[in-house]
Structure 1
């Protein structure tokens, strides 16, 4: 830890992954508000679109796992099967609902091992409502809270006439987010989506990277490059032409073997920093099943290792745990 601090006196930013999703149903105003009170620097809304073109916060456009839509008899006939990013998915989809209809639904906890007592209490927020919350809470606590929106399935939404880029930038610019130094990052797993956004705004962009598969836009374009290919130094240099940083799966930084044991760290952080890219890995969680065996069920040990390696921020479901480690170190 001491060696890293010799070179970086600023702590990594804490990005509240879907809000305080370890404690409240994800992507609800209650989840975001709790994350802010726990000390988050940024809150992360995943954005999808309604039938009438409104951006709302859901991790997926298929909403049966995160809302009570399956229990609403009036929407029973909306269940359908669609091809989303090459996968056949059956359920209920945001693009088949108006905002007014979405607002009749309630959020529920997606993971069965997390607290279910808040189910059916909170509505589905619009992106504008999230921005409004951030502005109010920033004023109340006297520090600037950032937002870190992700565009979900942008190629798919564009294919059905509901592109995400223009509505996203319009909302952000109208709310005063216009400069590269404003407290915001826009993220995407697709590359073309970010390159289009770069032409629309000066706001900082983050290229998300998974430790398997390909960006869907590359698949559609017949480009064989995988996410792993994009971590090569020459590819990181290309990313740096349109993005301010990368958001890699944390196993791209410290791989884990089939027995759940840590392997040696890769050079990804150093390679990204060499071309001027920030590194914000995901997702840090407290539960045992998400921790490598080497951490002995102690999530703080995981944060310490990644902080020691020099990450610039972390996506976490448990803001309070990340903050505890940061306060101890910095």
Structure 2
């Protein structure tokens, strides 16, 4: 039998780089910043108002996306942003319940029209798009990307990393997995969220070169 990668990461870079604040990121003058608010309730439990914080950020902060798995938070801040950033529903595992609507994320995505009412797109784990069977071989893709795009919703895919279990179809090549989401005849996702940006960037860049796609159209989150 063949064993995939060990589920551990090298300690080489531990303690070398600290955690960046939003102000630190803005100081690097990126073209865009994506802010993820994991759970609004966590901040409220600590007497912090994340919504107020985001609304009072300097106008020159290039906040392009705000994501959260909390639907009530997205609905609340959406009416106050006045289009300053795109709102993205970050979906957790399909059997996890979203606390404000009391439905699992799998159920919520069966009604994409309701998502369209408060968000510009969705961010989902990769298996929502390309599921695998119990033997770790790819199954046919779901219709999620096509269904979302038909309604004008963006689809961003996360849970990528070079050192986690992947389908055997990728032959242990993480770049091949990224290409599966952007280089197939049926659909292309709008963004890739990964713990290893250089690998994803290299895969996307190669895709652009091979298919003579404008680089501006190959920028992924």
Same-fold call, TM cutoff 0.5: yes
Q: What does residue range 240-279 of structure 1 map to in structure 2 within 5 Å? A: 240-279=116-155
User: Displacement of 1:239 after TM fit?
Assistant: 1.2
Deviations 1:269-299 (A, max 9, x none): 0111111000000022222x33112211011
- The 3 A distance-change label for structure 1 pair 216 and 156 is farther
User: Displacement of 1:183 after TM fit?
Assistant: 5.8
Q: 1:149 aligns with which of 14, 28, 35?
A: 35
Q: 1:291 aligns with which of 166, 177, 180?
A: 166
Match of 1:306 in 2: 181
Q: Is the 8 A contact 1:155 1:217 kept in 2?
A: no
- The 3 A distance-change label for structure 1 pair 196 and 285 is same
SS, match of residue 193 in structure 2: strand
User: C-alpha distance in 1, partners of 2:27/2:15?
Assistant: 23
Match of 2:213 in 1: none
- The 3 A distance-change label for structure 1 pair 312 and 161 is same
Match of 1:228 in 2: 106
- The 3 A distance-change label for structure 1 pair 122 and 320 is closer
Match of 1:165 in 2: 51
Match of 1:210 in 2: 92
Q: Is the 8 A contact 1:155 1:216 kept in 2?
A: no
Structure 1: segments with no counterpart, 5+ residues: 1-110, 139-143
Does residue 26 of structure 2 align to residue 131 of structure 1? yes
Q: Which of 1 and 2 has higher RCO (CA within 8 Å, sep 6+)? A: 1
Q: Is the 8 A contact 2:35 2:63 kept in 1?
A: no
SS, match of residue 160 in structure 2: coil
Match of 2:73 in 1: 193
Does residue 48 of structure 2 align to residue 184 of structure 1? no
In angstroms, what is the RMSD of aligned CA positions?
2.0
Work out which of the two has the higher radius of gyration on C-alpha atoms and give 1 or 2: 1
User: C-alpha distance in 1, partners of 2:143/2:200?
Assistant: 23
User: Displacement of 1:112 after TM fit?
Assistant: 7.4
Relative to the length of structure 1, the TM-score reads 0.56
Relative to the length of structure 2, the TM-score reads 0.81
Q: 1:117 aligns with which of 2, 7, 12?
A: 12
- The 3 A distance-change label for structure 1 pair 300 and 175 is same
Deviations 1:295-315 (A, max 9, x none): 110112211211123101101
